[in-house]
Amino acid sequence: MPKESAKVTPWEVSGRVDYERLIKQFGVSRLDDKIIEKIGKHAKEVHFMIKRKIFFAHRDLKWLFDEYEKGNKFFLYTGRGPSGKVHLGHLGTWILTKWLQDRFNAELWFQFTDDEKFLFNDKPYEEIQRWTYENMLDVIALGFDQKKTHFIIDTKHANLLYPEAIRFAKKISFSTVKAAFGFTNDRNIGEIFYTSMQAVPAIIPSVLRKRNIPCLIPLAIDQDPHFRVARDVYPKLGYYKPAIIHGRFLPPLQGIDGKMSSSEELTAIYTTDSPKEVERKIKKYAFSGGQATIEEHRKKGGNPDIDVSFQYLRMFFEPDDRKLEQIYNDYKSGKMLTSELKEILVGKINSFLKEHQKKREKARKQVDKFLFKS
């Protein structure tokens, strides 16, 4: 697998992602034991996605907690590009965000970048608007605190965002976005401008309250280039640089390269999939680290490290370390068959989705309350 072929931009992730390499390439810091300890000290526990380094890198977390210790509390900012259905790969960041909200009693600004998805895709504006609504339901279903959570939609909250975005834009040249995102001259001028809209929510509470408030952004590592570009601008405008915690990608069903993708139906499990669809997708498509025959599997054992079902358990569906270790050992030894491993996963996903889909329906009545009103 040539590592050179891996591509990680906000709009494309392909190939086997080398996370160690990304740490160097993006200039982020490894989430080491010292910083995890600091999180644990204040959160009173450590989320398994952090413990297992599913969130593996960061920017300025030490500074963020130093400020926190001085009584300078942070708010959270994350988002969603609403171009299609939400799948399991999207949820990890938001689940961690909810945990952070609960543990730190933090306000959350959640941005729906409908402009981005309109500008970077072939889809019509109206379709993006429908996805924005549908995606909001998934976010609400995760249980964010309605009193502390503000949804902003780029085109609906342009009065709030655009006047700030031009302050960022003024300090970012085409050369800079060209280098950061690999843009060529045939890119449309909305794509070129867009990164300044994504920079803004990290200062919105500071703008509204007229004081500088620290910000923590949980995101998947592919979104980091936006903040690499905007990072130097924040202090020039009189604001803190936001701290960031970076997550890995949930792999697609077909194997551990790239990431689960909304636009490729068969790589993903959607939050709206039925129990039957989930079962079919996992059984039919989830890449297996097992052997070709039961006999061989019993003898040689499976490889959980490349087994997509096991990875879903590790990254998302089995928070219990001891249970996970048991599955790992049983699968590796050949005691557990691929079919049994998949059975466990299907059960976990379907019980999660049953609950999620119920909450998702209830969310239809809550959307308006989550939308920020200026």
The least CB distance from residue 188 to a second copy, in Å, is 5
Measured distance CA(205)–CA(98) in Å, rounded: 18
**Three-state SS at 131:** helix
**Which of 214, 222, 223, 220 shows the shortest CA–CA distance to 243?**
214
**Three-state SS at 32:** coil
Q: Residue 171 or residue 348: which is nearer to a second copy going by CB?
A: 171
Q: Residue 106 or residue 204: which is nearer to a second copy going by CB?
A: 204
The least CB distance from residue 179 to a second copy, in Å, is 10
Q: Residue 175 or residue 293: which is nearer to a second copy going by CB?
A: 175
CA distances from 226 to 78, 180, 219, 229, 232 (A): 13, 8, 11, 5, 11
Q: Residue 46 or residue 207: which is nearer to a second copy going by CB?
A: 207
The least CB distance from residue 159 to a second copy, in Å, is 5
The least CB distance from residue 21 to a second copy, in Å, is 28
The least CB distance from residue 297 to a second copy, in Å, is 52
In which residue are the tokens 């398994």 written? Answer: 48
Token reading at 333 = 């030894």
- Please give the residue ranges that form the binding site for a second copy (CB under 8 A): 115, 118-119, 125, 154-159, 161-163, 165-167, 169-175, 177-178, 183, 185-193, 195-196
The least CB distance from residue 81 to a second copy, in Å, is 14
In which residue are the tokens 């590796």 written? Answer: 332
Q: Residue 4 or residue 122: which is nearer to a second copy going by CB?
A: 122
The least CB distance from residue 12 to a second copy, in Å, is 19
Q: Residue 69 or residue 232: which is nearer to a second copy going by CB?
A: 232
In which residue are the tokens 């279903």 written? Answer: 141
The least CB distance from residue 191 to a second copy, in Å, is 8
* Number of alpha carbons in the 13 Å side-chain half-sphere of residue 142: 24
Q: Residue 178 or residue 283: which is nearer to a second copy going by CB?
A: 178
In which residue are the tokens 């699968």 written? Answer: 331
Q: Which backbone phi and psi does 180 adopt, to 5 degrees?
A: -75, -35
Q: Residue 159 or residue 293: which is nearer to a second copy going by CB?
A: 159
The pairing of beta strand 55-59 with beta strand 75-80: unpaired
CB 222, CB 13: distance < 8 Å: yes
The least CB distance from residue 173 to a second copy, in Å, is 5
The least CB distance from residue 14 to a second copy, in Å, is 24
Measured distance CA(287)–CA(164) in Å, rounded: 45
Q: Residue 167 or residue 241: which is nearer to a second copy going by CB?
A: 167
Q: Say which residues have a Cβ less than 8 Å from residue 190's Cβ, sequence separation at least 6.
A: 115, 118, 119
**Three-state SS at 319:** coil
Burial class (CB in 10 A: 0-12, 13-18, 19+), 131: buried
Q: Residue 196 or residue 288: which is nearer to a second copy going by CB?
A: 196
In which residue are the tokens 């989320």 written? Answer: 47
Measured distance CA(152)–CA(104) in Å, rounded: 21
Measured distance CA(131)–CA(358) in Å, rounded: 19
Looking at this protein, which amino acid is placed at residue 235? P
